[in-house]
Amino acid sequence: MWALSRRLLPGEPYTPSAVSGGGVAGSGADPDRERGRWRLEECLRFATELAGRKGRRKGWTGLADEMAKAGWARLHPPTSGSSSGAEDEGSHVLLKYRFHKQYRHPTLDSSLTKSRVAGEARALIKCLRSGVNVPGIRMVDAAEGVLGIEWIDGKSVRFLLGGGAEGEVEAEDDSEDAQDDVPVEEEEPLKEAADTLMSMIGTEIAKMHKADIIHGDLTTSNMMLRHPSSYKGLQLVLIDFGLAYTSTLVEDKAVDLYVLERAFASTHPESEPLFAGVLKAYEQYMGKEWAAISRRLDDVRLRGRKRSMVG
Amino acid sequence: MQSFRYHHLPSELSTVHVALFTNVANSAALRSRIVRASQLEGPDGDAEREAVNFAFIDACLICSLLHLQTAVYQAILAQAQGSLRTKTVHSEILWTLNPTNNITEAIRRYGVGDATTSLIVVRIASPDLDNVEQRMSSVVDGTLVSLDDLSKVTDWASVKKYYKLNGEPALKDAAKDPERERVIVDEIVTSSVAMKSVMA
């Protein structure tokens, strides 16, 4: 769902209704607030329909318009951000749906889906226990391939650094998102804010690597800055653990950092000082483990992500 | 009492009634009544089982409403997909709440015990079932209070002990700030409940 909605419609992804509060009947919930939310079955219907439509037209072009015409865009939540008070925070759930792949044998498909959903959930809980900021898990339906995770009220680092959203026109106005720590008007404080952000990123990755979790897909799109007004406060949150795995190897940690370095270089101008800031904080947190990782990172830079095939 | 509806689930499982009782005086009697009801045979047994057809949960071990709802939802999901690990959807809630796979331990820790004073009563039913609040009150001898009072009865030390959270790196940073620590504990516990079905 995450990937799909990010790609399909401008603005923030969909806010499904709370899994647990899915259709809270007659409990006096504000109908205005309820209207923008999604229920589980709506999400499933959306994802299924999306998959079907995409399959028929063989691509993403024009899909958003078509879905909007079919009435889907009306379900997009109002962008007013501040409408949800602190009391119902944590009740928004994001559903990540791994839909059925028609090209795979059904048995293989269900076992793959199941193990991937389980793997992602396990990586998340391990991160939570190790103190890494990640979204909490809200529901797991391995049989159907649905993973419900906490909705993060905030923006992706990619967006904050001016990288824009992926493949779409970002229609947000900056004024509502201009946080005190990320001012957009002046050069100097912006740089300072970016430095702070980079050190937050470095610390978070270091915490994760200390727990021997490798993210596998570190990019600036997979990091979000939680809105300071949310009840957990300002935080850098790592998201999308779909490719995560556990490893103690220096090689894997170095490659993880290398992947992020390449992501920085390809999406943000003048990324070098930014990434240096990330490494500095990472080094501080990792302590004496850093030396080995640093050496290996230099090796990886020379040869690329994949090891050469020997033997 | 609060009720929730899950419209996308099969109708006989779609409605959840939750109530919190404090100052419960008959927990020991209630426990033995539940045990007896399970052994009775014939129509008497059926009537008795229907009378105590609830999930009785020790409220001390519940961190937040979200925590409870997550467990209830996962239990209903298991029932709807025919993958129950325990005999009923109500006992499945207790199993989901417990961090290990041991059913007896789950019932002993999270179910009603002789010393229980605050109790959460949950009923999963079809929307047609009425008088649920009356049925609950007739079984439990206690004060029906709002679910917002849940945070007052939570025993955080036991929660941390059962989930083996003491000494976890996540709690070290927040050790001096109980308010923040609770948010973190709640998050870990709720997430653990949500992923119970795929736990390693």
Q: How confident is the model over A13-66, as pLDDT tens digits?
A: 444 443 333 333 333 334 444 444 455 555 666 666 666 666 666 666 666 666
Q: How far apart are CA A14 and CA A77, in angstroms?
A: 7
**Interface residue A91 vs chain B (CB under 8 A):** yes
- Is-catalytic flag, A217? yes
Say whether pLDDT at A81 is over 60: no
pLDDT at B176: 81
Out of A153, A174, A217, A240, which one is annotated catalytic?
A217
Percent with pLDDT over 70 in chain A: 61
CB B71 within 8 A of CB B59: no
pLDDT at A28: 38
Best mutation target, B195, B196, B197, B199, to test chain A (most A CBs within 10 A): B195
Place of tokens 């830079």: A301
Tell me what the mean pLDDT of segment A91-112 comes to. Answer: 87
* Residue type at position A101: K
By CA distance, what is B195's nearest residue in A? A140
* Chain B residues in contact with chain A using a Cβ-Cβ cutoff of 8 Å: 2-8, 15, 66, 69-70, 72-74, 77, 81, 83, 165, 168-173, 183-184, 187-188, 190-192, 194-195, 197-200
Tell me what the mean pLDDT of segment A158-172 comes to. Answer: 57
**Interface residue A96 vs chain B (CB under 8 A):** no
Structure tokens at A175: 């004024």
| Subunit contact B4:A27, Cβ cutoff 8 A | yes
Q: How far apart are CA B37 and CA B47, in angstroms?
A: 9
Predicted confidence band of residue A174 (pLDDT cuts 50, 70, 90): very low
Q: Which letter does DSSP use for residue A238 in this model?
A: E
Name every chain A residue with its beta carbon within 8 A of the beta carbon of B173: 131
Q: Sketch out chain B's domains with CATH numbers.
A: 2-154 (3.30.2380.10)
Name every chain B residue with its beta carbon within 8 A of the beta carbon of A129: 165, 168-170, 188
Strands (DSSP E) contained in chain A are 93-97, 137-141, 146-150, 154-156, 213-214, 223-226, 235-238, 245-246
| Subunit contact A129:B165, Cβ cutoff 8 A | yes
Q: Was domain A154-303 assigned CATH 3.60.15.10?
A: no
| Subunit contact B168:A129, Cβ cutoff 8 A | yes
| Subunit contact B73:A232, Cβ cutoff 8 A | no
> Considering the entire predicted model, what is its pTM?
0.77
Name every chain B residue with its beta carbon within 8 A of the beta carbon of A114: 198
Interface confidence (ipTM) of the complex: 0.91
pLDDT at A92: 76
| Subunit contact B70:A20, Cβ cutoff 8 A | yes
**Interface residue A11 vs chain B (CB under 8 A):** no
Q: Which letter does DSSP use for residue A162 in this model?
A: T
**Interface residue A141 vs chain B (CB under 8 A):** yes
| Subunit contact B188:A128, Cβ cutoff 8 A | yes
pLDDT at A63: 65
Name every chain B residue with its beta carbon within 8 A of the beta carbon of A19: 70, 73
3-state secondary structure A244-295: CEECCCHHHHHHHHHHHHHHHHHHCCCHHHHHHHHHHHHHHHHHHHHHHHHH
pLDDT at A82: 27
CB B80 within 8 A of CB B62: no
By CA distance, what is A116's nearest residue in B? B198
pLDDT at A311: 57
| Subunit contact A138:B81, Cβ cutoff 8 A | no
CATH architecture group of domain A2-78+90-150? 2-Layer Sandwich (3.30)
Q: How far apart are CA A221 and CA A159, in angstroms?
A: 8
As to burial, measured by CB atoms within 10 angstroms (0-12 exposed, 13-18 middle, 19+ buried), residue A59 is exposed
pLDDT at A300: 93
Averaged pLDDT of chain A: 74
| More confident of the two residues A83 and A288 | A288
Q: Which residue of B3, B73, B171 is in closest CB contact with A139?
A: B73
pLDDT at A14: 46
Q: Which residues contact B110 (CB under 8 A, 6 or more apart)?
A: B57, B58, B61, B94, B97, B98
Say whether pLDDT at A285 is over 90: yes
Tell me what the mean pLDDT of segment A5-12 comes to. Answer: 49
| More confident of the two residues A162 and A225 | A225
| Subunit contact A125:B6, Cβ cutoff 8 A | no
Say whether pLDDT at A6 is over 60: no
| Subunit contact A142:B198, Cβ cutoff 8 A | yes
pLDDT at A177: 42
Name every chain B residue with its beta carbon within 8 A of the beta carbon of A138: 66, 70, 190-191, 194
Name every chain A residue with its beta carbon within 8 A of the beta carbon of B3: 25-27
| Subunit contact B195:A121, Cβ cutoff 8 A | yes
Per-residue pLDDT tens digits of chain B, which is 200 residues long: 889 888 888 889 989 999 999 999 999 999 999 999 989 888 989 999 999 999 999 999 999 999 999 999 999 999 999 999 999 999 999 999 999 999 999 999 999 999 999 999 999 999 998 889 999 999 999 999 999 999 899 999 999 999 999 888 888 877 788 888 999 999 999 999 999 999 86
Helices (H), chain B: 27-39, 42-51, 65-80, 89-97, 103-110, 132-139, 150-153, 156-162, 169-172, 178-194
For A246-275, the pLDDT digits (tens) are 999 999 999 999 999 999 998 888 888 899
Q: How far apart are CA B90 and CA B105, in angstroms?
A: 15
- What are the sequence ranges of the domains in chain A? 2-78+90-150, 154-303
